[in-house]
Amino acid sequence: MPLDVGSVLVGTQSGEVGFYSNHTWKSWDIKPGGENTSIYAVEVSPGGVVFAGTWHGLFQLQEDEFTPFTKPLPENYLFTVKSLLWDSGGGLWVGGKYGIHYFQSGAWGTFTRSGSDYYDVVDIEERDTGELWFATMDGVYTYSGDIWKRISPEDLSNDSDPDHARIESLAIGPDGKVWIIVNGKEVQIFEKSSWISVPLEKIDPESQLYQVEIDPWGAAWFGTLEGILCYLP
């Protein structure tokens, strides 16, 4: 399913994937075991296949129905998928509640940090340079040339207490700037090797922010409980 200009794919907490194109909505339900599942991420492969990351694992759209995709973990492990990215090399990165996995050429790989997993990987993005950025429960990381590096703001450096500064979302704009939402009430931008805070009064001081996306023109779009906000830097 190639995405045309103006078409949109969305996932819901009630287990529905929606596709909007040419003023028309189409939707599919994902019900593993007959139950709805929360959908955290939706991505389209280079070949046009729609993938959905859910609480119950990874699903792909085949013959107008979402079916489970091969797991990188034993069947008795919960495979919760919170983020997806098809990189420029044609590989699929999967960020989960319990780690980062990579699928290419029919095989899975798993990435760890000094013997421990990356937890709650909520977003994965790729810069034009091929550098990958990961938003996790305990900070922001980059991966380039087989090297992992922590790029979190200084006030996110306390790994022993990750709940004090939870990263909700990460996005990269066309200019290469990296945006993050912290605790739903703080927005920071990584530019020229440093983090810059965006005063919330410029966006909306009353809203709880959950998701950020940057459009091709550099405008920042924020998902909130009340709806969608647009911020022009």
Residue with tokens 């989960």: 96
pLDDT per position as a tens digit, 24-35: 888 888 987 767
Instruction: Give the three-state DSSP class for 127.
Output: coil
**CA triple 153-154-156, angle to 5 deg:** 70
pLDDT at 180: 94
Per the model's pLDDT, the better-predicted residue between 110 and 17 turns out to be 17
Whether 214 contacts 179, CB under 8 Å:
yes
Whether 70 contacts 88, CB under 8 Å:
no
Beta bridge partners of 76: none
Lowest mean pLDDT among 45-59, 70-84, 90-104: 70-84
**Residue 108 CA neighbour count, 13 Å, CB half:** 13
Residue with tokens 């013997």: 115
For residue 185 the two structure tokens come to 């009430």
pLDDT per position as a tens digit, 152-197: 776 554 444 544 568 889 999 999 999 999 888 889 999 888 898 8
**Residue 55 CA neighbour count, 13 Å, CB half:** 13
Confidence at 61, pLDDT banded by 50, 70, 90: very high
pLDDT at 190: 93
Structural domains of the chain sorted by starting position, each given as residue range(s) with its CATH number in brackets: 1-121 (2.130.10.10), 123-233 (2.130.10.10)
- Shortest CA distance to 220 belongs to which of 203, 205, 208? 203
CA atoms of 164 and 99, how far apart (whole Å): 21
pTM attached to this predicted model: 0.84
pLDDT per position as a tens digit, 205-233: 788 888 898 988 888 988 887 778 888 88
